[in-house]
A and B are shown apart, each in its own frame.
Chain A
Amino acid sequence: MGNITFIEHNGNQHSVDIEEGKSLMQIAMDNGIPGVDADCGGECACGTCHVIVDNNWIGTTGNVTKDETLMLDMTPEKADTSRLSCQISTSEDMDGMIVRLPEFQM
C-alpha cells in the first residue's frame, strides 16, 4: 500500500496510507492531520482543505474545476500548485506524493 506525506507549515511531517478512491481531504481528516478544517465536508464550497501539492506530483492530481479555482482565489496563500484536497481522489499512482499545508486556512 502506498503513502502520501503531509508537511505542516511548521515542518512537521505526517505519512498516511493511500485508500484508493477516497479524497485526500477525507484521508487527512481520518488521520487527524492538523491544519485541515474541511468545514463544508467535501463540497468544494469553503476552501478550508487547501493544500499545496509538490511540483513533481501536481500532474497526478487531476483537473481543477472552475468552482475550485474560484474558491482557491479567495485565499491569499494560493500558490501555482494549490488544490482543495477534497477535490483530489487518491490512487496508488500517488505513492510517495508530498503535499504542504498553508500557514492558515481561510
Chain B
Amino acid sequence: MNILSPVIEKSAALIPIHLQIKGAHVFQKVKKGIVKGKPIPVFKESPIPDVESLAIEDIDVSNPFLFRQNRWQSYFKRLRDECPVHYQKNSPFGPFWSITRYEDIMFVDKHHELFSAEPIISIGGQPEGLAIETFIAMDPPEHDLQRQAVQGVVAPKNLKEMEDLIRSRAKDVLDSLPIDEPFDWVQEVSIELTSRMLATLFDFPYEDRHKLAYWSDVAASSPEATGGTGSMDEAFTVAAEVAKQFSKLWREKEAKKSAGEELGFDLISLLLANENTKDLIDRPMEFLGNIVLLLVGGNDTTRNSMTSGVHALNQFPDEFIKLKNDPSLIPNMVSEIIRWQTPLAYMRRVAKEDVTLNGQTIKKGDKVVMWYVSGNRDERAIDQPDQFMVDRKNARKHLSFGFGVHRCMGNRLAEMQLRILWEELLKRFDNIEVIEDPKYVQSNFVKGYTQLMVKITAKPS
C-alpha cells in the first residue's frame, strides 16, 4: 500500500503538491537503494511462441509483447475454446484469473458487489509512492459521488456545444496533411487530434497541448502496472509536472469563481462548481487521480481508434468501398472500429467473496481480469468476430466501453470525435493507403499503435 498518501494529504494545505511529489520521489529512490522495496519488473522482448506449443496452465496473456507482436488472437481463441476462466499463477504481475468469453465478462462487469475495482484496474499495481485515487478504481458508493461530479463535462448536451469547435480543429489538421507522400498517421493525425480535444476539454493552454498526450502516455506506461516502457523517474517527474500545471489552472479558475465571473464547461470549472469536489485540490491524490483518469481515458483510447479505422479499412478494402459509396454508414462503422480495436484490452477486478464462474472457483481476494479484447472476438456472442464490417448489425453490442457502474463515461465523446474525423476524411480524400506494417505499443493494457505509415490521395476536384 502507499504509505505516503496520508502524509501528502495532511500537508496538502501547506506545501504545493508538486513539491510533495518530488519529496516522495527522492524517498522512493533512497528506499530502492537501501532497503530494496518491491523490485520493478524488467521486460525483455523475445518472440512469442505458437500458442499450441504451450500447456494451458503456462499461457500468460499478461505478456506485454502479445499485442506488440500481434500474436494475441490465437492466444485468446485458445483460452475461449479450452479454458474460458483461466488461472495463471506465475505471471510477473502475480497470479490472476482471465475471463475471456463475452457472457462471463458481462457477468463480472455487472456484479460490482462480487468484484471490486479497488485498488486499481491494471493487472499489476501502481508505482510505489504514486498511488493516485480515481473513481474508475473505487466501488459504490464513493465511486458514484466522484463520477457524478465530473460526468457532465462529457455529457451529450455539453458535447453538442463543443462539436463545432472540435470539427474546425479537425479540419485544420486534415487540411495541412501532405498529399501523395508517406507520413505517420499516428503522429500527424491521431495524436494531434486527441491533444487538441483534451486541451478543449480541460481548457488547457492550447500551445502546450502536446504535453497532455505525453503525460498521458507516461501515466499509462508503468512497467509494474501494465508491462509498459516507462521508468520510475519519468513517472514522478511527470506527476509533479501535471500537479503543478493543473494546480495553477485550478487556482486561476478558482479566482475567477471568487470574483463572481461565470465559469465555463471545462472539467475544472465543473469540479469547482460541484459541492462534493469544490475542495478537491486539498485532496491531492484524488485531484491528481481525476486529472490523470480523464487524460488517459480521453487519449490512448480515441487515438488508437483513429488509427485502427484506417488500418481496418486497408485490411478489408471492400468495406472501404462500401463506406465511400454510403457515408451514412459512418456512425455504425465507428462502433465497429471501437469493437474491432478494443483500445483498452481489459479491466481488472478483485473477488470480494468466493465466486464460481463457468465451473471454476475464484477465491476471495483473487485478481480477475476481464479481457474485453477477447470478448469482442467471441464467436459465441458476435457473428464472424474477426471480420471488420462497416454495416455490421448490432455494432453497438461490444465490450470496449465496459458495462455496469464503471461503463466508459466518455463513450459519446469518443464516438463523436471518430464520426467527425471520418466525415471530414471522406470529404477530402479518395484513398488512405497503409504502406508499411504498423508498429504496436508494448503493454498488456493499451492495445495501440506507435506508427502507421500511410499515403493519402486527394479527391479529384
Which A residues have a C-beta under 8 Å from some C-beta of B?
37, 39-41, 43-48, 67, 70-71, 73-74, 76, 103-104, 106
Residue in B closest to A102 when the chains form the complex, CB atoms:
B156
Partner of B156, one of A45, A71, A103: A103
Residue in B closest to A76 when the chains form the complex, CB atoms:
B155
Number of interface residues of B (CB under 8 A): 22
Q: B147 contacts A45, CB within 8 Å?
A: no
- Give Cα A46 to B412, complex, Å: 13
Q: B151 contacts A45, CB within 8 Å?
A: no
6 contacts between A and B (CB under 8 A): A71-B404, A74-B409, A76-B155, A76-B157, A106-B156, A106-B412
- Closest Cβ of chain A to B312, distance in Å, is 20
Q: A104 contacts B407, CB within 8 Å?
A: no
Q: B157 contacts A104, CB within 8 Å?
A: yes
Which B residues have a C-beta under 8 Å from some C-beta of A?
106, 109-110, 140, 144, 147-148, 151-152, 155-157, 396-397, 401, 403-405, 407, 409, 411-412
Residues from chain A with Cβ under 8 Å of B109 in the complex: 45
Query: With A39-B397, A70-B140, A104-B157 given, can you name 8 additional A-B contacts, CB distance below 8 Å?
Result: A37-B396, A40-B403, A45-B109, A46-B401, A46-B403, A46-B407, A67-B110, A74-B148
4 closest Cβ pairs, A-B complex: A104-B156, A45-B403, A76-B155, A39-B396
Partner of A47, one of B144, B147, B397, B407: B407
- Closest Cβ of chain A to B68, distance in Å, is 30
Residues from chain B with Cβ under 8 Å of A67 in the complex: 110
* A37-B396, A41-B397 as given contacts; A76 in contact with B151, CB under 8 Å: yes
- Closest Cβ of chain A to B303, distance in Å, is 23
Q: A45 contacts B110, CB within 8 Å?
A: yes
Residues from chain B with Cβ under 8 Å of A106 in the complex: 155-156, 411-412
Partner of A45, one of B106, B144, B409, B412: B106
- Closest Cβ of chain A to B385, distance in Å, is 16
Q: A71 contacts B405, CB within 8 Å?
A: yes
Q: B156 contacts A74, CB within 8 Å?
A: no
- Closest Cβ of chain A to B402, distance in Å, is 9
Residue in B closest to A45 when the chains form the complex, CB atoms:
B403
Residues from chain A with Cβ under 8 Å of B148 in the complex: 73-74
- Give Cα A71 to B110, complex, Å: 11
Q: A43 contacts B106, CB within 8 Å?
A: yes
- Closest Cβ of chain B to A17, distance in Å, is 23
- Closest Cβ of chain A to B281, distance in Å, is 24
- Give Cα A46 to B140, complex, Å: 16
Residues from chain B with Cβ under 8 Å of A37 in the complex: 396
Q: A40 contacts B106, CB within 8 Å?
A: yes
- Give Cα A48 to B397, complex, Å: 12
Q: B407 contacts A74, CB within 8 Å?
A: yes
- Closest Cβ of chain A to B142, distance in Å, is 13
Residues from chain A with Cβ under 8 Å of B144 in the complex: 70, 73
Residue among A37, A70, A71 with the most chain B CB within 10 A?
A: A70
Residue among A45, A47, A70 with the most chain B CB within 10 A?
A: A45
